[in-house]
Chain A
Amino acid sequence: MEEYKVYTYTIINVPTNEFKDKAPYLMAIVTNKKGSKFMTRIEGYDEGDKIKIGDKVKYKEKDSLGNIICKL
C-alpha cells in the first residue's frame, strides 16, 4: 500500500453537518512519492493521539467522491 507524508494537518472538533458523527477527526494535506500534494481524511485517529508534520500515513480506500482516504 502506498504511503504518504504529512505536509500539514488538523484535528476537527466542530464539523459540518455531513460529518457530525465522525468528530473529532484528523485531516491532512499529504505528499505522494512524486511530490504532489492532496487533501485527505485520516481514519483511525483517537482523541489524544500524537501526529506531526513528516509522519507517514497509509492508503486506506477511495470514498464515493473519488477522494483518497488514509489510515494511521
Chain B
Amino acid sequence: MRSVSVIGIGETEMGSFPERSLRDMVKEAGNKSIEDSNIEREKIQAIYVGNFNSSYLCGQSHMGPLVSEELNLGNVPTLRTENACASGSLALRQAFISVASGVYDYVLVGGLEKMNHRSTEEVTSALASASDSINEFGIGATFPSLFAMIANRYMYEYKATREMLAAVAVQNHENGFKNPHAQLKKKITIEKVINGFPVAHPFTIYDCSLVTDGAAFLVIGASDLLNKKEKERAVEIIGSGHAGDTLRLASRKDITKFPATIKAAEEAYKMAGIKAKDINFAEVHDCFTMTQIINTEDLGFFEKGDGGPAVLEGKTALDGKIPINPSGGLKSKGHPIGATGLSQVYEAVLQLRGKADDRQVKQADIGLTHNLGGTASTCLVNIFRRLK
C-alpha cells in the first residue's frame, strides 16, 4: 500500500444559509482545497463526494457531476457516497483506498449538505430516514430520541450525571467560540443546557448538534509524488478504519458502547502502529453530548464510565490531557451531515500544520478524526501526522 497524504483543504463557513445553493458551496470549498494544494487541477483524476440527503431535501441527486462541472474538472469519474452522517468520511475512505492501491495519484474528496431551507419537522424526518424505516422512524423515533435512549441507559448503568452531559456542550461551545467557521459562536453554561427547550428526555436543544449548511473538500495524493514544498504542508493519513453495526438500535446487546467505533479504531491504530495514548487531540462525532462521552471511551482515551467525569475535570478541554473537538465539534461548529467528516479532517490538518490560531492545541503531532453514521451503525476513524 502506498502512503497517502492530505495536500489541500477547503471549507465554507458553517451555518444557516437558506439562500446559498449547493453549487455555490461546492465552488467555494472545492476551489479553496485545490488552491491550497498548489497542484494544477488537471492532475485530479477522480472525485469522491459525500452527501446524505440532498435527493430529498434539495431534489438533487447525482452529486458527483455537479461537483465536477462547478470546479471545471472535465470528464473525471465521480462517485457519491452515502452512509448517513458518515457519508463524508466514507468518501475519504474510498478515495484513500484508490490512491493507496495505486489506481489514482490525486483525488478530490468533497462533502456537502443543505438543510436550513426546510422546516424543522422536514429536517427531522430527512435525518430519521437513516434509522430503520419500519421499527424506528416508522414508529415515531427521531435521532435525538435514539441517542436519548442510549443516554438514559448509560446514565443508569454508569451513574453519569446530567451535569457531565451538559459539560460537553459547554466545552465544545468554548472551542467553537474561537473558530471563525463555527455556526454558533456563543458561550453557554451548564444551567443553560439543562434548562433549555426539551427535545427528547434527557436532551434539551443544547445537547443536540446543529442543523447546518456547509461544504468541506480535501485534495489527497500519493505521498511519494509530492515535491519538497508540497511535502512541507502535507499531512499523512497514517491510519484508516471503517466498521459497521446493526441498523436497529434494539438489536444490540449493549447500547452504552459502540462496537463500530471500537473496531474501526482498532483497524486505524494497527495500521498507524500506535496506541490511543499516542493521540494528541481528536475530533469526535458529538451529534449529542452523550455520544461524545461514549466516543472518548470507545476510542480508548478513557476507561468505560470515566468519560463523563473526565469532561468535568477538564481533561478534554483545549489545554487538557487529550483535547476533544478543538473546532467546536458538531455541537458548536455545526453538523453539515455529508460534509461533517471532512470538516473534522479540515480541523485536524489545520492543527497539525500549527495554523489553528486561538484554538491551537499545544501538542499537535498526531491527530484523530472519528465520524459516526446513524445510531453508530457506521464508523470511520482516521489518524493523521505531518508527513516526514
Q: Which residues of A are in contact with B by a Cβ distance under 8 Å?
A: 7-20, 22, 24-25, 27-29, 37-41, 53, 63, 65-67, 69
Contacts and interface: CB of A to CB of B under 8 A. Distances in A.
A71 to B, nearest CB: 14
Contacts of A66: 134
Q: Which of B122, B142, B153, B251 has the most CB of A within 10 A?
A: B142
Contacts of B124: 14-17
B140 interface: yes
A41 B198 CA distance: 18
Nearest to B255: A8
B128 A16 contact: yes
Interface of B: 120-122, 124-125, 128, 134-142, 144-145, 148-150, 152-153, 156, 197-202, 248-251, 255
Contacts of A9: 149, 152
- Tell me the dominant secondary structure on chain B's binding face: helix
Sorted nearest first, the 7 A-B pairs with minimum C-beta distance are A10-B148, A8-B153, A17-B121, A11-B201, A16-B125, A19-B140, A8-B149
Contact of B141 (A7, A37, A39, A69): A39
A39 B139 contact: yes
Nearest to A39: B250
Contacts of B199: 12-14
12 contacts: A9-B152, A10-B202, A12-B142, A14-B142, A16-B125, A17-B124, A18-B125, A19-B140, A27-B141, A41-B140, A53-B156, A67-B139
A27 B121 contact: no
Given A22-B140, A40-B139, A11 B200 contact: yes
A13 B196 CA distance: 12
Given A10-B148, A67-B134, 14 more contacts: A8-B150, A8-B152, A8-B153, A9-B152, A10-B152, A14-B124, A16-B140, A17-B121, A18-B125, A18-B140, A27-B141, A28-B149, A29-B250, A37-B250
A7 B251 contact: no
B125 A17 contact: yes
Contacts of B142: 12, 14-16
Nearest to A6: B152
B51 to A, nearest CB: 21
A27 B250 contact: no
A25 B140 CA distance: 9
Contacts of B197: 13
B139 to A, nearest CB: 5
Contacts of A10: 145, 148-149, 152, 200-202
Nearest to B251: A37
B48 to A, nearest CB: 30
Contacts of A65: 134-135, 138-139
A2 to B, nearest CB: 17
A8 to B, nearest CB: 4
A9 B153 CA distance: 8
A14 B144 contact: yes
Contacts of A25: 140
Q: Which of A18, A29, A63, A66 has the most CB of B within 10 A?
A: A29
A17 to B, nearest CB: 4
A39 B202 CA distance: 18
B139 A27 contact: yes
A7 B156 CA distance: 10
B248 A39 contact: yes
A1 B149 CA distance: 25
B250 A16 contact: no
